[in-house]
Chain A
């Protein structure tokens, strides 16, 4: 199990733990169907500590690096 920030661009992983993520962000991710057990793919990262773009069943979501750091994933 690693933090999402340790994934390489293009790598796929399964979300294992969202409990450390701030409430507001977790709610939004839930709204978009991104939960524990969801399969994601890291699409790209923005420079200088900028946000991450992840894909989940064909939809893309942007989140901040410091939130991604708190998301535990298992690479597939």
Chain B
């Protein structure tokens, strides 16, 4: 089957177009870090596969996600390129197009946002643009899918015709350097060696590594130095600047031929919103207000009543129905206990929180799709700069509130390796939605009157500790490079309901899936461990294997206020996924529903020790999936171990301080 690579600048509607063309459920985002991994979909006609690559401004990579594109071009087999171009930012977008044309694969331009361009007084003659670039240009509206049929048609037709490769003349000195490179390289490649030469001279770091693997260091160094010298002599400009300028003057010629401009001076909706949202004085308060509303909606106004309904259903009709069913088929007491006390208690205890988690993901998707996330980066940059990070690091942190895994991955858009590493290490301190069930359980039992404020405090505690540690890390172990910040602020867009629902579902389904796999399996295992002991089966739970395992940890946890084997066992299993803490507690305390569990817990925890426990759960260790992601993203065992050990130490110290001081103060 044919493979088409989808390439374009960030914020051009690339992911929307991908969704329209492939009809698959994909994650749509208006923040440039959303497409963090290569995604593959099948075209509606089922005749070709499409690969969605991260949005890039140029093939010359500055951040990790930009490397992905160059790496893809060089190492993966594919047949053609679909280049999405934002009509309202033609110059910038075409600079990338030139680099793709030089790559020599058949290319089709999908011209998006023609309407936005026209409102700004930019009128593009598509036929002339196609003629100037010598490739098909198809206007599309990625949001609605208009023009997608034509794209598909053009893509399928395109591969048949062989066009002459596109070449841009870079001046005598540069051309000689390119020829020397091609001669030194020697062999033919799947792609034009000329392209490789240009990217090499431009300073593309990935291409340089690629070249260094084949050519001896002395060769490529002398090639580069000679080119640098000759170009400097002939043109009085550095190599990379010359290449950039030649491309730009070509692009400007193309625009000259195909674009008509009218001066339209008007205030756009984005200008009006930005006048408030990024206002010097109200910007930050407005962001905090938005966060407050988000949490109130998730936990209080909307989420809590829905969760209560679900809880009542699991505890009442569902349990009764299953018990009756099992009795009817004559199941043994063992099976009944496994299903009702193990599976329904364990999995149900977690599923109850599905409404809250979906509401939270919905609002995070809304913030991403609307374009507000980039403004958050701008508004928060000053604060982040003070702790040695930049405003962009705030986005992974907010995404981390939903789930730490995509949060850690979103750090890829941060250019400086040091800042990126630090963001990845600190994202797990953001209280993800899986920790929510734990808080909900405890605040319901011990802080019924102040639920929202206690939960809010935990979120704020996570963020504050992350900022303090960022400062600490940048003063100690991670202090080399200075921090850098440049962010594009895309126009606001009203998110489409369909796209919002899709991305909410995409993020939330992981949680439901986890309930069906991890938590299901975990619940069964935990229940079995609590049912079986050294002296046989169906033992008193205090004599079970689970009690023995948890008991080992209990003395260590005693200074924190929860030195019971139950707490030890719950925390241990919570490493699998934080919500398993609740499943374990449900099983251990044999509670049919959240309400009676909360009643039972009152005899094992005090308000203070419950609070200390929540703080410990917030901080103690990233869950298994997050640890795996940190390992994948850093590629370093050392930093992965560090992310776990600093969190554990931090959790112990903070919980200890809370419990000991709290006891002294007489709580």
Binding site for B on A (CB under 8 A): 22, 24-25, 27-33, 35, 43-51, 53, 57-64, 67
State the main secondary structure of chain A at its contact with B.
mixed
Residues of chain B whose beta carbon lies under 8 Å from any beta carbon of chain A: 57-58, 60, 62, 88-89, 91-92, 95, 120, 244, 248, 268, 270-271, 274-275, 278-281, 283-284, 374, 377-379, 381-382, 385, 391, 415-416, 482, 484-490
The minimal Cβ–Cβ distance linking B592 to chain A, given in whole angstroms, is: 53
**In the bound complex, do residue B89 and residue A58 qualify as a contact, i.e. CB atoms below 8 Å apart?**
yes
Given A30-B244, A58-B89, A46–B486 Cβ distance below 8 Å? no
Which of chain A's residues have a CB closer than 8 A to the CB of B486? 24-25, 28-29, 32, 61-63, 67
Nearest Cβ distance between residue B541 and chain A, in whole angstroms? 56
Greatest chain A CB density within 10 A among B281, B374, B385, B490 is at B385
Contact of B382 among A25, A29, A50, A53 (CB under 8 A): A50
A33→B487 contact, CB < 8 A: no
**CB pair B385 A64 closer than 8 Å:** yes
Residues of B within 8 Å of A47, CB to CB, are 280-281, 284, 382
A45 to chain B, nearest CB (A): 6
List 14 additional contacts besides A43-B271, A47-B280, A57-B89; criterion CB under 8 Å. Answer: A24-B484, A27-B62, A28-B57, A28-B62, A32-B92, A32-B486, A32-B488, A46-B379, A47-B382, A49-B382, A51-B391, A53-B274, A62-B374, A63-B486
Residues of B within 8 A of A27 (CB): 60, 62
Contact status B484-A22, CB under 8 Å: yes
Nearest-CB distance from B419 to chain A (Å)? Answer: 11
Residues of B within 8 A of A48 (CB): 382
7 residue pairs A–B, Cβ–Cβ below 8 Å: A31-B57, A32-B92, A32-B488, A53-B274, A59-B489, A61-B487, A61-B488
Considering the complex, give the chain A residue whose CB is closest to the CB of B241.
A30
**A28 surroundings in chain B (CB, below 8 A):** 57, 62, 415, 486
| Docked CA distance A42–B490 (Å) | 16
Q: Are A44 and B278 in contact (CB under 8 A)?
A: yes
A31, A43, A46: the one contacting B381 at CB < 8 Å is A46
Contact B382 A44 (CB under 8 A): no
Please give the distance in Å from A16's CB to the nearest CB on chain B. Answer: 16
- Measured between C-beta atoms, what is the minimum distance from B207 to chain A in Å? 16
B92 and A62: CB pair below 8 A?
no
B280 interface neighbour in A33, A46, A61, Cβ under 8 Å: A46
Cβ of B271: which chain A residues have Cβ within 8 Å of it? Answer: 43
Contact in complex: B391, A62 (CB < 8 Å):
yes
In the bound complex, CA of A22 to CA of B172 (Å): 30
List B contacts of A62 (CB < 8 A): 374, 377-378, 381, 391, 485-489
Which residue of chain A is the closest to B62 with respect to CB atoms?
A27
Contacts of A50 in B (CB 8 A): 379, 381-382
Residue from A31, A45, A53 with most neighbouring chain B CB atoms (10 Å): A31
Contact B274 A60 (CB under 8 A): yes
A45 and B461 alpha carbons, distance in the complex (Å): 29
Which 4 residue pairs across A and B have the least CB separation, nearest first?
A: A31-B57, A50-B382, A33-B92, A60-B489
Q: Establish whether residues B381 and A64, one from each chain, have CB atoms under 8 Å apart when the complex forms.
A: yes
A24 to B385, CA, bound (A): 16
| Distance A33 CA – B381 CA, assembled complex (angstroms) | 22
**CA separation between A22 and B274, bound complex, in Å?**
27
Shortest distance between the CB of B44 and any CB in chain A (Å)? 32
> Could you tell me the distance in whole angstroms from the C-beta of A23 to the nearest C-beta in chain B?
9
Q: How far is the CB of B619 from chain A (nearest CB, A)?
A: 29
Chain B: which residue is nearest A47 at the CB level? B280
Identify A45's interface contact among B95, B274, B280, CB under 8 A.
B280
Chain A residues within 8 Å of B488, by CB: 32, 59-62
